[in-house]
């Protein structure tokens, strides 16, 4: 493995001091006070059309500056997903434009139909209550497969069967022929193999970030300026431009520190409306802050999904054929659309794809009148891995095999190349998975516990479980991966690092400083990062999603650093033309080939800035277009206690071991894994937005009713890494931000199965679902 | 002359809308509210030492957060002048470090000896009144030539005669020998020539900018952040670092819009103290806003100066020899020091230097206990030109010559190279002066008016007057001239322009947009300028002074634009490899050699950002180290009425015609000239800080008592330009920001002389001085 000096150090977070002292400024801290506030009027029906809106009374409320309805807004449809744009308009890679600032077509309960701008929240709320709306109402459909049969009025125009997209990928005919089959179905039903078929469901998890969605807009310098708690400031700029029908260069977006996003803030939900309302009131500063309740149902959670899976497996423990069908309920709007369920079925396939097996993957994304859905941490992968692990767990259980042994027989192995990928850039190059599993087994004491828990009876039972994980870093080759970075030498020999990539709490700023320092050859402490992104001055980068930043943006960062080192040494050569041998930068100084110190870096910086004969403020621009990706893997083991009559699970021990390639900052990686494990436990056991199927209304849009794990629910979390050197990562690194949420839930499911013999297929495994399952299987 | 498309257009100011609507944000607008405020305790003596300070009572005032005295501050002396730094510490070009955050050595009345930080102004003011100070007092000296005799305790340590600097420049011996003389004195006293000798005085003008000096500081991201109304953010960063003894990279300075500076804000008066106080209170936000009164006497106005001049002139109207001696009173601190009086004697020399004459220039800069002095618009030149024009006016008057004809005989002419300049980069390359004079004569109707006003008597008399002007653009070759600029292509085919140079009300942002557009080949409206300078992200540029920005920073701007055009065409070549002929960018599109439109610039920009195969956000960095300068010239003519018994002057008509090279934006140039003429009228007739010589206390530190011209005092101002193409300016341009203040005052003086026959040598020519002069000469 490569040897690094700054990469691999657990340096303190660069934002640690500001964040623990409360000094760090978030969007609402920065918002001028007083300023105007905007509030949104939401529909009280789940499907239909606004016939008329009467705002007369609302406009009379003292303090109200303006009331605007769906009949006032410009007719620009725009996409909201935080995806890069495409130069080629015909490429069909551009996101679907199905949102309007306000819409008279109500597609979901609580749809946005009017907005009030007022001098304070009280006036705005009073005015909202005085707006009278007349609707034409249509029946609500919430079940995706019901919706596919078609509705009288399609949810979105032009899609009579409400299907956004349908894809099918199958092992090529030739290979099937070699296997002796006409189709994957034949391989599945070959009587020489054991056949399994299951159905799974994964619910709508909400990101439940600490900081609500908030932005404020004002006009200045001929631009609309939007300060927003967003993961994707440059994309936000583009989407505001599209939504308002104005040139993108006329929009300026500023991203301060943000208090969590987990994918919600990878959509541009309200910034365009905020910008438009600001313009309607003459460019005065207008703040639009969602309530906690609105965050739950008017932004986008994880798509609920159904899967049907079949598999055939040989006595040699090898998977012979698999088929997955996935149906994703995208709700009334497209947001990230089909990419999510594609990620589910692909990760199902990759994790246990030996390339000797036959595979069939089919997926649908369907409109219903369900709430918004979109990106959430790991972006469809947890749903696919949940499904894969339900299958693997069932097979191991039914065949009496050791679950670890069975999984290892089939798990993705080095040299794997995705045979379905058009460019074959999805390949598994470095394998830490097997070492991860060894270490996990050891920590959880797998073999002994399996024996210990072998024959249990009674209401309280124990079980150990396992789940593997696979995650493809960044979005190439499916989508564009691009990033830019800029480094400038300061007069004191320190550096300014400007990234377009965003710190969203994950520690990005810190690891970028480490990577820049490594490339230049200085200490991390010598790098000052510009933490805010201001699209007027920040290099272009689409932002934080897909665990792409250390991988893609890190490549741009390294490029800028490498160029800076080169520029410094070139300047040193100019200043010391008679120096012997090759010059080197180390210990904050320039050395000649004979190890003589020529000058300090700070002295060189002063020459760069202030030499009377020739100045040269050193500033370098790093750039990356990344076409490769790197597959991160790992596993979770857990040991738990099930109280069968109460339907209660207590996790006694849980450990996640990951191969995320080289770790830029081991402590930060550990913290990421801790957070992901906790969120994964919530995903597995308690977190689900509950939707009334008759109205489409979310029933539990509060932090009281939506159950995120508390300190009481999360045991000590054990997180470790097996380091590998990925050849594609800028410093051998792979994804880490999203990976840890993937395997905890299925590991818990596997432990419950091993403890009780009961198979659960629906997530989250709430006490209600567990109770019903145990009752169904006669344990209660 | 070169042909330009965007340069030369009177485009609307880019900040016009924000400024006229009040939307533009200045420092105090941006300051978080509430925040802590700092107030300064000023000495009540003009010379001495603080023996002790008792702050016990002050600290007890409710709302007081901290009281800090001159005994608490770190012992770092630092320079405050807005000059570039020098890499070479031995070069003696670095400014003298004579300021401390607070100082127990009181050198001027109102010196800064303690500071209070409190929750509001009331608490701070109450606390100030409760601080008890014990002084050791020394006699005050305010007269510079008296001070040169030495004082018991020198004003600054190590300077027993209180002389900061003394310089002497004389026509070389060889040339004097050719002329037949041993010395300039011989040439002056040669009986074949007419001999003249005068003494002049110019008072301390105050900049009287609208926005007071204000800054606020807070700590964030491990840095001290200072938001300040400064002309020189990058220099401010350096000086805060020096004053606090911290690395410069740990300081971040942000400059919003500023409400005038005229040189005051080219000194770093209080930002270091503000930063230090902020750090003392744990990094909380602290605002330090000077009162209007403090702005008058605790920041730096124009140095008062005395000159003694001799000249000999032949019957052929040709100057034969000249000598000037200048004494400049820099007050208790050095600030810009000797550079100012050097500019005076040099401009005296340049304006009427035929290079056939003998010249002797001697200058002293002297410490007294007078108030701070420093840079003010035209930086010593108005004082030198005043002196030159007093001399020329007297000679013409006494010899009975036409003042214009006499001046033209001797005025700087094309091909002039300063024989005293070590590098000979001071040369007069393009001559618009003669055309300016022709046009000025025509507008003022010189010949007719001269005849008309020839023989007047009685208390009310009329006169026409003239003065020429010379101004060297920027600070090369005396000091470093460097600048950087950055241009980035937006997705919509517009551009972000980032300058380190600052908009200080003069219109810099607008002309930079024009220059960038010209270089790229697009419209000015396609350029979005980043108006604020944040030293964390703004390219390095020392800032606004010496009329350097369009000349030096404009060169960097043009360089960035030229590179951007090249990058665009290179990308177009990559996108259209089969295109015929040389590609061109015009009309927002790319054309091939056969005039076929290949694509729009916006399409190309989308390719740059979003091409799936290779992205390349185009961003270019422009750089300039400028070793040349360009001499701007011009003249003012005026026609006025003198009421002799009242000592009152009414300007009936005043016209300034300038050769500022090519005009980037004629309307903005006209506005600059208008502003400069008004300020020049104030300089000539009414503006002077009055200092009590016994205490060193300023007597008229209010806008009531310090007389800037009002609408009533300023007639319609006629401003015109004669355009020339300077080969050194990026677009043929030369200085314009400071030039128009130079010649109005001496033109008024000349008209008074022509109207009354009375010679005035002291500025401003207040009613009191006029009355005394007329009385002395027997007119009253």
ipTM for this model: 0.96
How does the average pLDDT of chain B come out, rounded? Answer: 96
| A666 phi/psi in degrees, rounded to 5 | -55, -40
- The reply to whether A254 falls in a domain is yes
- Per-residue confidence (pLDDT) for residue A478, from 0 to 100: 85
Q: Residue B94: pLDDT above 90?
A: no
- Per-residue confidence (pLDDT) for residue B427, from 0 to 100: 85
In chain A, positions 445-484, which contact chain B (CB-CB < 8 Å)?
A: 480, 482, 484
**Residues in chain A, total:** 780
- Per-residue confidence (pLDDT) for residue A471, from 0 to 100: 96
Based on the fold, state whether residues B667 and B533 are members of the same structural domain. Answer: no
pLDDT digits (tens, 9 = 90+) for B700-758: 999 999 999 999 999 999 999 999 999 999 999 999 999 999 999 999 999 999 999 99
Q: Give the span between the Cα atoms of A411 and A225, in whole angstroms.
A: 49
- The reply to whether B100 falls in a domain is yes
Task: Note whether A36 and A117 are within 8 A (CB).
Answer: yes
pLDDT digits (tens, 9 = 90+) for A10-25: 999 999 999 999 999 9
For residue B262, what is the domain's CATH number?
A: 3.90.1170.50
Task: Note whether A530 contacts B537, CB cutoff 8 Å.
Answer: yes
% of chain B exceeding 70 in pLDDT: 99
Task: Note whether B91 contacts A612, CB cutoff 8 Å.
Answer: yes
pLDDT digits (tens, 9 = 90+) for B520-538: 999 999 999 999 999 999 9
- Per-residue confidence (pLDDT) for residue A427, from 0 to 100: 85
Q: Residue B422: pLDDT above 70?
A: no
Based on the fold, state whether residues B393 and B438 are members of the same structural domain. Answer: yes
Based on the fold, state whether residues B271 and B315 are members of the same structural domain. Answer: no
Nearest CB among A250, A531, A540 relative to B221 is that of A531
| pLDDT band (50, 70, 90) for residue A707 | very high
Mean pLDDT in residue range B481-502: 98
B662: DSSP letter: S
Q: How far is A314 from chain B (nearest CA, A)?
A: 42
Based on the fold, state whether residues A524 and A384 are members of the same structural domain. Answer: no
Task: Note whether A249 contacts B537, CB cutoff 8 Å.
Answer: no
B595 sits in the region (left: phi over 0; alpha: psi -120 to 50; else beta) called left
Nearest CB among B15, B23, B283 relative to A23 is that of B283
| pLDDT band (50, 70, 90) for residue A90 | low
Task: Note whether A615 contacts B625, CB cutoff 8 Å.
Answer: yes
- Per-residue confidence (pLDDT) for residue B448, from 0 to 100: 98
Q: Residue B629: pLDDT above 90?
A: no
Based on the fold, state whether residues A660 and A731 are members of the same structural domain. Answer: yes
pLDDT digits (tens, 9 = 90+) for A366-411: 999 999 999 999 999 999 999 999 999 999 999 999 999 999 999 9
- The reply to whether A269 falls in a domain is yes
Mean pLDDT in residue range B442-455: 97
**Between A429 and B4, whose confidence is greater?**
B4
- The reply to whether B248 falls in a domain is yes
Task: Note whether A14 contacts B221, CB cutoff 8 Å.
Answer: yes
Q: What is the DSSP string of B597-666?
A: EEEEHHHHHHHHHH-SS-----EEEEEEE-----EEEEEEEEEEEEETTTTEEEEEEEEEEEE-BS-S-H
Based on the fold, state whether residues A706 and A738 are members of the same structural domain. Answer: yes
Task: Note whether A615 contacts B623, CB cutoff 8 Å.
Answer: yes
B596 in contact with A, Cβ within 8 Å: no
How does the average pLDDT of chain A come out, rounded? Answer: 96
In chain A, positions 617-636, which contact chain B (CB-CB < 8 Å)?
A: 617, 619, 621, 623, 625
Based on the fold, state whether residues A607 and A690 are members of the same structural domain. Answer: no
Based on the fold, state whether residues A594 and A675 are members of the same structural domain. Answer: no
| pLDDT band (50, 70, 90) for residue A753 | very high
Task: Note whether A617 contacts B247, CB cutoff 8 Å.
Answer: no
- The reply to whether B543 falls in a domain is yes
For residue B491, what is the domain's CATH number?
A: 3.30.365.10
Which of B247, B281, B610 is the best residue to mutate to test the A interface, defined by the most A CB atoms within 10 Å of its own CB? Answer: B610
**Between A65 and B476, whose confidence is greater?**
A65
Q: How far is B536 from chain A (nearest CA, A)?
A: 7
Q: How far is B668 from chain A (nearest CA, A)?
A: 18
| pLDDT band (50, 70, 90) for residue B90 | low
CA angle B64/B66/B67 to nearest 5° reads: 105
- The reply to whether B201 falls in a domain is no
pLDDT digits (tens, 9 = 90+) for B380-391: 999 999 999 999
Q: How far is A421 from chain B (nearest CA, A)?
A: 16
Residue whose token pair is 């916006």: B602
Scanning every residue of chain A, which has its alpha carbon at the shortest distance from the alpha carbon of B33? A33
Give chain A positions within 8 Å (CB) of B617.
Answer: 482, 484, 539-540, 623
Task: Note whether A436 and A658 are within 8 A (CB).
Answer: yes
Task: Note whether B610 contacts A86, CB cutoff 8 Å.
Answer: yes
Based on the fold, state whether residues A464 and A504 are members of the same structural domain. Answer: no
Sign of CA dihedral A593, A594, A600, A604: negative
Q: Residue B93: pLDDT above 80?
A: no
Chosen domain end from B625, B659, B689: B625
Q: How far is B144 from chain A (nearest CA, A)?
A: 33
Task: Note whether A471 and A610 are within 8 A (CB).
Answer: no
In chain A, positions 88-107, which contact chain B (CB-CB < 8 Å)?
A: 88, 91, 93
Task: Note whether B84 contacts A610, CB cutoff 8 Å.
Answer: yes
- The reply to whether A70 falls in a domain is yes
Based on the fold, state whether residues B94 and B235 are members of the same structural domain. Answer: yes
Chosen domain end from B289, B311, B344: B289
A25 in contact with B, Cβ within 8 Å: yes
User: In this structure, are strands B251-255 and B223-228 parallel, antiparallel, or unpaired?
Assistant: parallel
Nearest CB among B25, B248, B491 relative to A490 is that of B248
Q: What is the DSSP string of B282-301?
A: TT--EEEE--HHHHHHSS-E
Task: Note whether B17 contacts A86, CB cutoff 8 Å.
Answer: no
CA angle A258/A259/A263 to nearest 5° reads: 85
In DSSP terms, which residues pair with B467 in a beta bridge? B636
- Per-residue confidence (pLDDT) for residue A430, from 0 to 100: 87
Task: Note whether B278 and B284 are within 8 A (CB).
Answer: yes
- Per-residue confidence (pLDDT) for residue B355, from 0 to 100: 85
Residue A158: CB atoms within 10 A of its CB come to 5
Q: Residue A422: pLDDT above 90?
A: no
For residue A272, the enclosing domain spans 31-138+213-289
B24 in contact with A, Cβ within 8 Å: yes
pLDDT digits (tens, 9 = 90+) for B349-364: 999 998 899 999 999 9
pLDDT digits (tens, 9 = 90+) for B21-55: 999 999 999 999 899 999 999 999 999 999 999 99
Q: Give the span between the Cα atoms of B668 and B658, in whole angstroms.
A: 14
Q: How many domains does chain B have?
A: 3
CA angle A669/A673/A674 to nearest 5° reads: 115
Based on the fold, state whether residues B447 and B544 are members of the same structural domain. Answer: no
Q: How far is B271 from chain A (nearest CA, A)?
A: 19
Q: Residue A589: pLDDT above 90?
A: yes
Based on the fold, state whether residues A109 and A258 are members of the same structural domain. Answer: yes
Which of A523, A536, A538, A572 is the best residue to mutate to test the B interface, defined by the most B CB atoms within 10 Å of its own CB? Answer: A536
Chosen domain end from A605, A625, A645: A625
B425 in contact with A, Cβ within 8 Å: no
Residue whose token pair is 């000539």: B684
Q: For residue A746, which of A735, A757, A762, A734 has the smallest C-alpha distance?
A: A762
Give chain A positions within 8 Å (CB) of B225.
Answer: none
Q: Give the span between the Cα atoms of A712 and B363, in whole angstroms.
A: 81
Instruction: Produce one character per residue of B404-438: b if its CB has 16 or more CB atoms within 10 Å, e if not.
Output: bebbbbbbbeeebebebbeeebbbbbbbbbbebbb
Reported pTM? 0.97
Q: For residue B766, which of B685, B645, B683 has the smallest C-alpha distance?
A: B685
Radius of gyration of the CA atoms of chain B, in A: 27
Q: Give the span between the Cα atoms of A24 and A14, in whole angstroms.
A: 11
| pLDDT band (50, 70, 90) for residue B92 | low
Q: Residue B307: pLDDT above 80?
A: yes
Q: Residue A586: pLDDT above 80?
A: yes
- The reply to whether B239 falls in a domain is yes
Q: How far is A267 from chain B (nearest CA, A)?
A: 19
pLDDT digits (tens, 9 = 90+) for B225-274: 999 999 999 999 999 999 999 999 999 999 999 999 999 999 999 999 99
């Amino acid at each position: 493995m490569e040897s690094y000096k700054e990469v691999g150090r657990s340096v303190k977070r660069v934002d640690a001091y500001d964040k623990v002292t409360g000094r760090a400024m978030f969007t609402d801290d920065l918002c001028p006070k007083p300023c105007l506030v905007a509030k949104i009027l939401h529909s009280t029906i789940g499907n239909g059309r606004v016939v008329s809106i009467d705002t007369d009374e609302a406009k009379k409320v003292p303090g109200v500056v303006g009331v605007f309805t769906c009949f006032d807004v410009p007719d620009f449809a725009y996409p909201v997903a935080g995806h890069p744009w495409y130069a080629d308009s015909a490429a069909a890679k551009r996101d679907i434009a199905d949102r309007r600032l306000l819409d008279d077509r109500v597609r979901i309960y609580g749809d946005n139909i009017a907005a009030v701008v007022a001098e304070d929240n009280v006036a705005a709320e009073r005015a909202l209550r005085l707006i009278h709306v007349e609707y034409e109402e249509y029946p609500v459909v919430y079940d995706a497969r019901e919706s596919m049969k078609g509705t009288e009025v399609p949810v979105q125009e032009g899609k009579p069967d409400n299907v956004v997209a349908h894809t099918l990928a199958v092992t090529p005919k030739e290979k099937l022929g070699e296997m002796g089959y006409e189709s994957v179905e034949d391989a599945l039903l070959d009587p020489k193999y054991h056949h399994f078929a299951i159905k799974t469901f994964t619910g709508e998890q909400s990101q439940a970030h600490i900081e609500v969605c908030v932005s404020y807009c004002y006009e200045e310098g001929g631009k609309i300026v939007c300060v927003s708690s967003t993961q994707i400031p440059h994309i936000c700029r583009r989407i505001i431009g599209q939504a308002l029908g104005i040139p993108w260069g006329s929009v300026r977006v500023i991203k301060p520190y943000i208090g969590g996003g987990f994918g919600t803030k990878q959509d541009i939900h309200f910034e365009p409306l905020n910008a438009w309302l600001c313009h309607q009131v003459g460019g005065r500063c207008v703040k639009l802050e969602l309530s906690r309740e609105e965050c739950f149902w008017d932004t986008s959670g994880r798509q609920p999904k159904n899967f049907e899976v079949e598999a055939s497996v040989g006595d040699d423990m090898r998977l012979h054929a698999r088929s997955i069908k996935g149906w994703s309920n995208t709700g009334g709007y497209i947001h990230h659309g089909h990419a999510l369920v594609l990620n589910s079925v692909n990760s199902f396939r990759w994790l246990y794809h030996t390339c000797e097996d036959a595979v069939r993957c089919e997926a649908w994304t369907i409109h219903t009148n369900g709430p918004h859905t979109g990106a959430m941490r790991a972006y469809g992968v947890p749903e696919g891995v949940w499904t894969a692990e339900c299958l693997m767990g069932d097979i191991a259980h039914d065949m009496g095999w050791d679950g670890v042994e069975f999984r290892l027989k089939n798990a993705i192995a080095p040299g794997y190349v995705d045979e379905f990928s058009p460019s074959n850039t999805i390949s598994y190059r470095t394998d830490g998975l097997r070492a991860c599993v060894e270490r996990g087994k050891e920590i959880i004491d797998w073999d002994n516990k399996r024996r210990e828990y072998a024959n249990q009876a009674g209401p309280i039972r124990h079980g150990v479980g396992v789940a593997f994980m696979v995650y493809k870093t960044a979005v190439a080759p499916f989508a564009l991966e691009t990033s830019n970075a800029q480094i400038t030498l300061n007069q004191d020999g320190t550096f300014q690092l400007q990234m377009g990539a965003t710190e969203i709490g994950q520690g990005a700023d810190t690891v970028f400083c480490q990577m820049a320092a490594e490339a230049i050859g200085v200490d991390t402490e010598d790098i000052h990062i510009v933490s805010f992104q201001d699209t007027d001055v920040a290099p272009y980068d689409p932002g934080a999603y897909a665990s792409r930043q250390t991988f893609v943006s890190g490549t741009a960062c390294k490029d800028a650093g490498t160029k800076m080192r080169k520029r410094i040494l070139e300047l040193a050569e100019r200043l010391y033309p008679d120096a012997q041998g090759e010059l080197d930068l180390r210990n904050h100084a320039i050395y000649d080939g004979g190890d003589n110190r020529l000058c300090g870096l700070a002295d060189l910086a002063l020459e760069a800035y202030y030499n009377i004969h020739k100045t040269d403020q050193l500033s370098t621009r790093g750039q990356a277009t990344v076409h490769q990706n790197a597959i991160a893997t790992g596993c979770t083991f857990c040991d738990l206690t099930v109280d069968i009559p109460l339907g209660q699970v207590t996790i006694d021990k849980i450990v996640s071991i990951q191969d995320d390639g080289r770790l830029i900052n081991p402590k930060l990686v550990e913290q990421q894994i801790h957070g992901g494990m906790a969120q994964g436990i919530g995903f597995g056991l308690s977190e689900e937005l509950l939707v009334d199927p008759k109205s489409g209304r979310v029933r539990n849009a509060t932090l009281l009713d939506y159950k995120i794990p508390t300190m009481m629910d999360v045991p000590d979390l054990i997180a470790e890494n097996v380091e590998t050197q990925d050849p594609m990562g800028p410093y051998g690194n792979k994804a880490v931000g999203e990976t840890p949420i993937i395997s905890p839930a299925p590991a818990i499911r596997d432990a419950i199965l091993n403890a009780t013999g009961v198979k659960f297929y629906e997530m989250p495994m709430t006490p209600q679902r567990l109770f019903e399952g145990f009752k169904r299987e006669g344990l209660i």
